[in-house]
Amino acid sequence: MSLLDELVAVTDRERVTDRPYDLHLHSGDAGLRTGHATIVVFPETTDEVVAVVRVAAKQGVPLVARGAGTGLASGAVPTEGGIVLTLTHMNEITEINVENGTAWVGPGVINLDLSRATTPHSLHFAPDPSSQQACTIGGNIANNSGGPHCLSEGSTVNHVLAVEMVTADGEVITLGSAAPDPIGLDLRSVVVGSEGTLGIVTRALVKLTPNPPQVRTLLCAFPTVEGAAGAVSGIIAAGVVPAALEMMDQGMLIAVENWLHAGFPTESAAALIAEVHCTTESADAEVDLIRRVAEDHGATEVRVARDEAEREIIWKGRKSAFGAIAQTAPNYYLHDTVVPRTKLVETVLELYQIAEDAGLVMMNVFHAGDGNLHPLIAFDAKDDVMAKRVHEAADKMVAACVAKGGVLSGEHGIGSEKRDLMGTVFTEYDLDAQARLKQVFDPDRILNPAKILPSGSRCFDYGGAPLPEGTWI
C-alpha cells in the first residue's frame, strides 16, 4: 500500500493531500528557507496522530509537525521531505477550570482565541507573541515562545503544566500534571522548546493568569538609541519589573506609522513601550518612577495612554511591526538573540555598525526588558549578492551577541536557521548530551530531522562507532 493510501486509511481523503499547491504552502514557514513536503495530513484527534506516526515509523518516512506556519527559524520546514502533520484542526478548548486557573487545549488553538475564551473569567494566557492573532499554542510550546508580556511572567515553559504527547513509536504519554511540583524528572520542560523533535503534542494543560486590576501603558520617546537602551536597565534597577518593556528604533517607528497612523514619535531615534500591571494603589507610583527614569536618560516625551483605545493602538503598532516592513523591502531576515541587559547599549550599537559596514538597512523592534534582540534586515531575497551579504552580516551579529555572554534564541527557536550556529554556544559534550536525549525519544530519527542539532552532534552511534559524516540527528 502506498504512503498516500495508508494515510487516507487512518484519516480520510479530505484531510490528506499531495496537491502541488498544498505541498508548496506547507513546505515553508515565515522564515526564508523552504523544503519540500511529500504529503500533508490534517489530523483531528489524538488517535489519528497515533495512526499517522505509526505509518511514518513503519515506512521510515520523516514526520514534521506544523501549526500556523508563523515560525521564523524554519523549524517546521520539511528539509528531508516526508509527512507534514498540520495540527490546526485540533483546535478545541476542552476544559477551562476557573478555580485552578488552568485549561486543557488542543495544539491548534490560536493563542489569542484562548485569552478571548477566558476573558469572561478575568483570566488570560500570558505568552503573547507578535503573531498572537495567528500562531497556535502547539507552535508556542514547540518554540517556547515568549512575547512582549513575558518580562514579568516568564515564557511559555512557565505556563505549561502538562502535555499529552505521541512518541515516535506511537505511544500516548502525559508529561507533567496539575500539581505545581510533580514527582520525578521534569520531562515537560524538556519537551517545551524541543520543536517537535521529541514527540507530537496533542493536548496541553496551560496555566491561566488573572487579569490585572490596573494596566498603564507608556510611550517614551528618546533622541538617541543609547538613551532608550540605558533606560531599560535603569527602570528595572529602580525596582520596577514592568509587564512589558519594548523598544522600537526610528526606522521601525516610521514604517509602522506610515501604515497605522498611531501617532508614533517618528522624529525620535527610538521609543520605549512600557506597561505595568498593578494594583490601583501602586499604579501612579510605578508610572511616575518609569517617567522619572526615562527623563533621566534623556526622554523628550513620556506619554501615558489615556484609555483602552489608545493602549490598543500602541500595541497594534508594536505587534504589526514585521508586517510593516513590506513598505521597505519584500523580505526581511532576523535573529532573536539574547544578551544581558547590562550589555544592551553596547550590543545594539555594535549591531548598527555591522549593518552599516555591510551597506544594509536594519531596523530594530525587540523585547528590551529581557535583552531579547530582534535585529531585522530588510532586503530583496531575489538579489543573490544582497542575500549573501545579509547572511554574512547576520552571522556577525549573532557572534557579537554571543561574545557579550548572550544566547542564540529567546523565543523563535533554533530550527534549521540557527542550527549550524549551535557550536558557538555549546561544546561538543553539550551537543552530544542533547543528541543522546533525542536518541532516547526518537531512536529512528523520524521526528523533524535536521533541526536544532548540527551534523556530528552525536559523537558515537548506538553500537559505539562514529556516526557517518553528514548524519543529522
Q: According to the model, what pLDDT value does residue 469 have? A: 56
Question: Letter for the amino acid at 82?
Answer: G
Choose one of 168, 193, 210: the last residue of a domain.
Answer: 210
Tell whether 204 and 97 lie within a shared domain.
Answer: yes
Cα separation, 319 vs 252, in Å, equals 12
Which of 394, 418, 442 lies at the terminal end of a domain, its last residue?
A: 418
**Is there a single domain that holds both residue 12 and residue 78?**
yes
Q: Is 188 found in the same domain as 97?
A: yes
pLDDT attached to residue 466: 53
pLDDT tens figures, 60-111 = 999 999 999 999 999 999 999 999 999 999 999 999 999 999 999 999 999 9
Question: Which residue, of 291, 306, 323, is where some domain finishes?
Answer: 323
Give the per-residue pLDDT at 327.
Answer: 87
pLDDT the model gives residue 462? 47
Tell me: the pLDDT tens digits for 121-140? 999 999 999 999 999 999 99
Q: How far is CA 12 from CA 81, 91, 219, 316, in A?
A: 21, 18, 52, 40
CA distance 237 to 240: 7
139 and 189 in a single domain? The answer is yes
Burial class, 463, CB count within 10 angstroms (exposed 0-12 / middle 13-18 / buried 19+): exposed
CA atoms within 13 A on the CB side of 331: 17
Residues 315 and 340 in one domain: no
One domain, residues 231 and 177: no
Q: What local confidence, expressed as pLDDT, does residue 326 receive? A: 87
**Does one domain contain both 298 and 401?**
no
Q: Tell me, what CATH number does 289's domain have?
A: 3.30.70.2190
Same domain for 46 and 129, yes or no, is no
* DSSP annotation of 204: E
Report how far apart, in Å, the C-alpha atoms of 427 and of each of 155, 227, 430, 459 are.
Answer: 25, 36, 5, 12
Strand ranges across the sheet with 375-379: 301-304, 214-222, 270-278, 244-249, 361-366, 375-379, 331-334
CATH classification at residue 172 = 3.30.465.10
Interatomic CA distance for residues 224 and 222, integer angstroms? 5
Same domain, 120 and 204: yes
Confirm whether 423 is domain-assigned: no
Count of Cβ atoms closer than 10 Å to residue 331 Cβ: 17
Considering Cα of 260, then 264, then 265, then 270, what sign does the dihedral take? Answer: negative
* Same-domain status, 232 and 310: yes
187 burial type by CB count under 10 A (0-12 exposed, 13-18 middle, 19+ buried):
middle
Q: Which domain holds residue 356?
A: 329-418
Please report the pLDDT score of residue 302 as a whole number. Answer: 98
CA distances from residue 431 to 186, 397, 426, 428, 468 in whole angstroms, order as listed = 20, 22, 6, 5, 16
Low-confidence ranges of the chain (pLDDT < 50): 462-464
Kindly state whether residue 15 falls inside one of the protein's structural domains: yes
pLDDT at 335: 87
Contact 297, 333 (CB under 8 A): no
Number of domains in the chain: 4
Rounded-to-integer distance, Cα 390 and Cα 381, Å? 9
The CATH number of whichever domain residue 29 belongs to comes to 3.30.43.10
- The answer to whether 158 touches 140, Cβ cutoff 8 Å, is no
